């Protein structure tokens, strides 16, 4: 029985990975683009879920960190001719350091302070990017080179797929490691966790730093794929979308944000005709889910499944 479960745990993801190889062979360029963007949101929503879902810290700077990654890598490429491959690593490092700094300042004061300060950080970053247009090209957007000499959507699809899978493996590994155990201990009962010798603050700061680095890396990839970096990447609108994907998919579950990212990105292609209403619709759905089904879609499906199994 245990063996069966263990093999299932490896076989099902493997099956999905094998299936994920095929889309470039039959999808149109347009839908391949949608898949690439969805994979970007998988990275974003899953890494946000690592801190929010697993340690209960609500950061509003996740999109801002992805913007840091994108702009650092983009400006290096434009001004110094740095290769985007190196650029995204530097971008992720800068995002990690900023995350470490903010985390260090706020987390010891409690979750409310982190949320307030990260919101402020997002807003300030937006102001700086729009005003320092000699460096960032402001709202016009910064044109940057891509990863590949020969542009092909399929190469980008595989690149995003590989990085998204690596992120997911890393996140899975973290939440099932000793560190993940202490994450959950901190989430369930902070007092009990700290009295049993877990340094709750250090655990939270490390989670926040890792998650910020992932956002920075994802943002760098996204920027060099679009080849145009705009202040929309670090905007609160983007932050909302990432948050809505995690919440609607299911926070605190490994697969929830993945489901949410694909679901919302594909759905938004269909409701694009309603223009401005689509943010409003996602917002209302996210509110309803957070209010009535805090475990998200994945939680609802799991509960149904169990009920069905017993009857």
Partner 1 sequence: MSEFLMYLTNGVVMGVINAISAIGVSLIVGIMKVVNFAHGELYIFAGYFSYHLSVSLGLSPLLAMPLSVFFIFLLGILMERTLIRPTYGDEMYSLIITFVLSIVLQNAALLIFGPYPNKPPNLLSGATNIFGLFHYGNQRLLSFGLSICILLSIFYLIKKTWFGKSVRAISQDRGMASLVGVNHLKINMVSFGLGAALAGTAGVLIAPIFPVTPTGSSAISLTAFVVVVLGGMGSLKGCVIGGLVLGILENMGAAYISTMYRHIFGFIILILVLVFRPWGLFGQKA
Using the contact rule CB under 8 A, the part of the chain among 34-42, 234-242, 258-266, 302-310 near partner 1 is 234-242
Distance CA 73, CA 215 (A): 13
- Of 105 and 166, nearer to partner 1 (C-beta) is 105
Site for partner 1 in 50-89 (CB under 8 A): 52, 56-58, 60
Enumerate the β-bridge partners of residue 229: 142
Where does the chain have alpha helices with state H? 2-20, 23-26, 29-55, 62-80, 84-106, 111-131, 133-136, 153-176, 178-188, 190-195, 200-226, 236-249, 256-270, 277-292, 296-310
Nearest to 242 by CA among 274, 214, 276: 214
Query: Is 286 a residue that touches partner 1 (CB under 8 A)?
Result: yes
Site for partner 1 in 236-265 (CB under 8 A): 236-237, 240, 243-244, 247
Single out the residue of 14, 17, 21, 124 in contact with partner 1 (rule: CB under 8 A).
Answer: 124
Size of the site for partner 1 (CB under 8 A): 40
CB of 166 to partner 1, least distance (A): 27
List all residues 6 or more positions away from 259 whose beta carbon is below 8 Å from its beta carbon: 249, 250, 297, 298
Query: Is 192 a residue that touches partner 1 (CB under 8 A)?
Result: no
* CA atoms within 13 A of residue 217's CA, in its CB half-sphere: 22
Enumerate the β-bridge partners of residue 26: none
Single out the residue of 11, 14, 86, 280 in contact with partner 1 (rule: CB under 8 A).
Answer: 280
CB of 283 to partner 1, least distance (A): 4
Note the residues at the interface with partner 1 (CB under 8 A): 52, 56-58, 60, 105-106, 108-109, 111-113, 115-117, 119-121, 123-124, 127-128, 131, 236-237, 240, 243-244, 247, 276-277, 279-280, 283-284, 286-287, 290-291, 294
């Amino acid at each position: 029985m245990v063996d069966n479960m263990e093999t299932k745990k490896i076989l099902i993801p493997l099956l999905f990975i094998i299936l994920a190889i095929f889309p470039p062979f039959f999808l149109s360029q347009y839908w391949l683009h949608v898949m690439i963007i969805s994979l970007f949101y998988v990275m974003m929503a899953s890494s946000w879920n690592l801190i929010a879902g697993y340690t209960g810290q609500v950061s509003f700077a996740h999109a801002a960190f992805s913007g840091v990654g994108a702009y650092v890598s983009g400006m290096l490429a434009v001004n110094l001719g740095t290769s985007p491959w190196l650029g995204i690593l530097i971008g992720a490092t800068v995002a990690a350091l900023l995350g470490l700094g903010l985390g260090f300042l706020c987390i010891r004061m409690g979750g409310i302070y982190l949320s307030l300060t990260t919101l402020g950080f997002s807003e300030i970053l937006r102001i700086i990017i729009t005003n320092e247009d000699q460096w960032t090209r402001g709202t016009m957007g910064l044109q940057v080179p891509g990863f590949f000499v020969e542009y092909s959507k399929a190469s980008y699809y595989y690149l995003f797929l590989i990085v998204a899978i690596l992120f997911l493996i890393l996140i899975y590994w973290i939440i099932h490691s000793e560190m993940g155990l202490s994450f959950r201990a901190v989430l369930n009962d902070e007092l009990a966790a700290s009295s049993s010798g877990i340094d709750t603050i250090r655990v939270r700061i490390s989670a926040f730093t890792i998650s910020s680095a992932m956002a920075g890396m994802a943002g760098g990839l996204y920027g060099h794929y679009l080849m145009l970096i705009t202040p929309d990447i670090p905007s609160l609108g983007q932050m909302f979308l990432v948050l809505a994907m995690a919440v609607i998919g299911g926070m605190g579950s490994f697969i929830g944000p993945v489901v949410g990212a694909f679901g919302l990105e594909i759905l938004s292609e269909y409701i694009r005709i309603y223009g401005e209403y689509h943010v409003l619709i996602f917002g209302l759905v996210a509110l309803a889910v957070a209010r009535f089904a805090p475990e998200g879609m994945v939680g609802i499906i799991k509960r149904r499944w169990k009920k069905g199994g017993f009857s």
